[in-house]
């Protein structure tokens, strides 16, 4: 291959988008640029009290252009653009949006600019809990199990629940929507200059894991499955798609408009999109039966298995198993935790409340000093909590928590569940509570591993990627102890973006397969955590307590829900 060939990987996260420029010969990062979504940062269009989290498409567009141009400028500007051969994109998901007949998100059209229902419905948006419950109950009425490839339970975080919720609550959006599109499918469509919603290439990853697409169904479930659920869905499958594409296939080439905006050639190949964790698993050099955990605000856990080994196997309670969703020729299995880093961030916000809300009122220090002190303390809180929590002996009577602060994704999705902390006393200080929360997130990880093993899917080890994996030795060592298995941490900092770059190298024809791109561009691992067997013995007993507490919490919530339904 020509060693001067470069590729771009674009990774859309919950808070920001990052682009990296990579040498396709060896995976070396030449440049990186990140853009925080300003509307999201300012809390616009979101109502956490009702679990509404929406993002404006203009933030996505601005970030795409700014970060790619910044990468090119860092690498030398016009002198390197002829070497850039491909671009691939990953995004969060399920993060769909209502679009018009041209494939334009409604929020970019007149009259919808400030309507949250016309924007992307972020993965963590749980406004569709009721719709998800209805889909689950409705599916039980059919001879064909249309939920069999998504673990048997449909989630409020996914495509159809969100679509139905918006159609029900917003008649104006309902009447204007020509279709619905996942974020990971829309960005390649945008870059390739698409102007016909029917021509959008839909990714196998998003369609199979979140929208009930399956080869066995010859596409999506039939129209009568949806129209008998709610007449508002009648005919909607015809507004969507039948065929899907794996991420090693091209979506097209860069349009003349975007080539000019980015200063690139219109011959640059644009890959079909996929979700961040799935491309991140490739960036982290996933192997069959190793669980790749992308650990950020939530976790998304990916395992791949040879297709021949999965015949007749359906794993209950996970987020889907889809042929080719990660690596073509293998079945991709997805699980995850709805809150991981978000759990630590929640606790940080709790104990930072006086700093965030009262420090500015101080008569002792000026406003600039107060602002600087606030920023400094914000950076120090989690590292110091981790250091102090690590000094607390592992013991059965310690405080105990359940990690469902944003519901439970896997196993057995239930977004109505809530977090809990037990065993509190006057001796329970911030490090002890933080330790309990960290332990709970590790127990949540163990429940996923246990489900795979119970369903006949071996887990040989863990591959850790993402911010928490790179930044928190305390949590990683605890997780290794809880799981009783080693955890390898991939050396690359921006692993999801690297995975996107690997796919870009494949769609550009630099490598013939994803496996060859992984081998050449991977770079290996720079850290490994091994379990402390003495701690594992204690954690196994603590894990049983965690399950008992979780069962109690779930039971109490079920009782409350039943009473509310009875009184409504």
Strand ranges for 365-431 from DSSP E: 400-402, 420-422
- For 170, the token pair is 């917003």
By CB atoms closer than 10 A (0-12, 13-18, 19+), residue 74 is: middle
Q: Report residue 103 CA to chain centroid gap.
A: 23
Strand ranges for 101-246 from DSSP E: 120-121, 179-182
By CB atoms closer than 10 A (0-12, 13-18, 19+), residue 255 is: middle
Phi first, then psi: what are they for 18, rounded to 5°?
-125, 135
Domains and CATH numbers, the chain: 6-284+492-526 (3.30.420.40), 341-490+532-567 (3.30.420.40)
Using CA atoms, how far apart are residues 520 and 296, in angstroms rounded to an integer? 26
List own/partner pairs for 361-366 with CB under 8 A and 24 or more apart. Answer: none
Q: How many other CB atoms are found less than 10 A from the CB of residue 525?
A: 17
Using CA atoms, how far apart are residues 94 and 437, in angstroms rounded to an integer? 26
pLDDT of residue 396: 86
Query: Interior CA angle at 299 toward 467 and 463, to 5°?
Result: 70
Using CA atoms, how far apart are residues 193 and 8, in angstroms rounded to an integer? 18
- For 265, the token pair is 């050639």
pLDDT of residue 1: 44
Half-sphere exposure of 395 (CA within 13 A, CB side): 10
Using CA atoms, how far apart are residues 20 and 279, in angstroms rounded to an integer? 14
Kindly compute the dihedral angle of the four CA atoms of residues 126, 128, 129, 132, in this order, to the nearest 10 degrees.
Answer: -130
Q: How many other CB atoms are found less than 10 A from the CB of residue 181?
A: 26
Q: What is the pLDDT along the chain (568 residues), one digit of tens a residue?
A: 455 799 999 999 999 999 999 999 999 999 999 999 999 999 999 999 999 999 999 999 999 999 999 999 999 999 999 999 999 999 999 999 999 999 999 999 999 999 999 999 999 999 999 999 999 999 999 999 999 999 999 999 999 999 999 999 999 999 999 999 999 999 999 999 999 999 999 999 999 999 999 999 999 999 999 999 999 999 999 999 999 999 999 999 999 999 999 999 999 999 999 999 999 999 999 999 999 999 988 999 999 999 999 998 999 999 999 999 999 999 999 999 999 999 999 999 999 999 999 988 888 999 899 999 999 999 999 999 999 999 999 988 999 999 999 999 999 999 899 999 999 999 999 999 999 999 999 999 999 999 999 999 999 999 999 889 999 999 999 999 999 999 999 999 899 999 999 999 999 999 999 999 999 999 999 999 999 999 999 999 999 999 999 999 999 999 988 887 778 6
pLDDT of residue 568: 67
pLDDT of residue 566: 79
pLDDT of residue 563: 83
pLDDT of residue 304: 98
């Amino acid at each position: 291959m020509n060693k001067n060939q470069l590729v771009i990987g674009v990774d859309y996260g919950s808070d920001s988008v990052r682009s990296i420029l990579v040498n396709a010969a060896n995976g070396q990062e030449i440049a990186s640029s990140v853009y925080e979504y300003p509307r999201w940062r300012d809390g616009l269009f979101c109502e956490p009290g009702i679990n509404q989290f929406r993002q404006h498409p203009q933030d996505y567009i601005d970030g795409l252009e700014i970060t790619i141009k910044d990468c090119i400028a860092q690498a030398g500007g016009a002198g390197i653009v002829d070497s850039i051969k491909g671009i691939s994109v990953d995004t969060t998901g399920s993060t769909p949006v209502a679009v018009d007949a041209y494939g334009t998100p409604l929020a970019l059209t007149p009259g919808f600019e400030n309507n949250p229902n016309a924007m992307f419905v972020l993965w963590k948006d749980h406004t569709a809990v009721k719709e998800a419950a209805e889909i689950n109950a409705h599916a039980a009425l059919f001879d064909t199990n249309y939920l069999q490839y998504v673990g048997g339970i449909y989630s409020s975080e996914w495509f159809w629940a969100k679509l139905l919720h918006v159609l029900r609550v917003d008649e104006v959006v309902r009447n204007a929507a020509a279709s619905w599109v996942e974020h990971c499918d829309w960005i390649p469509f945008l870059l390739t200059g698409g102007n016909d919603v029917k021509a959008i290439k839909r990714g196998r990853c998003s369609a199979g894991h979140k929208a009930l697409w399956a080869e066995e169904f010859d596409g999506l479930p039939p129209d009568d499955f949806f129209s008998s659920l709610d007449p508002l869905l009648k005919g909607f499958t015809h507004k969507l798609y039948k065929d899907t594409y794996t991420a090693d296939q091209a979506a097209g080439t860069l349009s003349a408009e975007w080539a000019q905006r980015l200063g690139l050639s219109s011959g640059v190949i644009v890959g079909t999109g996929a979700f961040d964790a799935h491309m991140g698993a490739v960036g982290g050099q996933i192997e069959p039966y190793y669980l790749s955990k992308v650990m950020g605000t939530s976790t998304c856990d990916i395992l791949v298995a040879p297709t021949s080994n999965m015949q007749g196997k359906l794993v209950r309670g996970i987020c889907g198993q889809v042929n080719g969703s990660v690596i073509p020729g293998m079945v991709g299995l997805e699980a995850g935790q709805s809150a991981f880093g978000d759990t630590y961030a929640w606790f940080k916000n709790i104990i930072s409340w006086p700093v965030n809300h009262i420090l500015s009122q101080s008569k002792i220090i000026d406003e600039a000093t107060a602002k600087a002190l606030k920023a400094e303390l914000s950076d120090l809180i989690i590292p110091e909590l981790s250091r102090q929590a690590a000094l607390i002996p592992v013991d059965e009577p310690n405080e105990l928590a359940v990690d469902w602060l944003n519901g439970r994704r896997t196993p057995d999705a239930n977004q109505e569940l809530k977090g809990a902390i037990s065993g509190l006393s006057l001796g329970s200080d911030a490090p002890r509570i933080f330790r309990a929360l960290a332990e709970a997130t590790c127990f949540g990880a163990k429940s996923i591993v246990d489900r795979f093993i119970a369903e006949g899917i071996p887990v040989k080890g863990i591959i850790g990627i993402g911010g928490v994996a790179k930044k928190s030795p305390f949590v990683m060592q605890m997780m290794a102890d809880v799981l009783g298995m080693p955890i390898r941490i991939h050396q690359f900092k921006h692993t999801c973006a690297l995975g996107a770059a690997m796919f870009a190298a494949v769609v550009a024809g630099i490598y013939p397969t994803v496996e060859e791109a992984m081998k050449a561009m991977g770079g290996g691992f720079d850290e490994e955590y091994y379990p402390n067997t003495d701690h594992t013995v204690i954690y196994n007993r603590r894990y049983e307590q965690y399950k008992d507490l979780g069962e109690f919490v779930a039971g109490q919530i079920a009782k409350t829900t039943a009473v509310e339904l009875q009184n409504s």
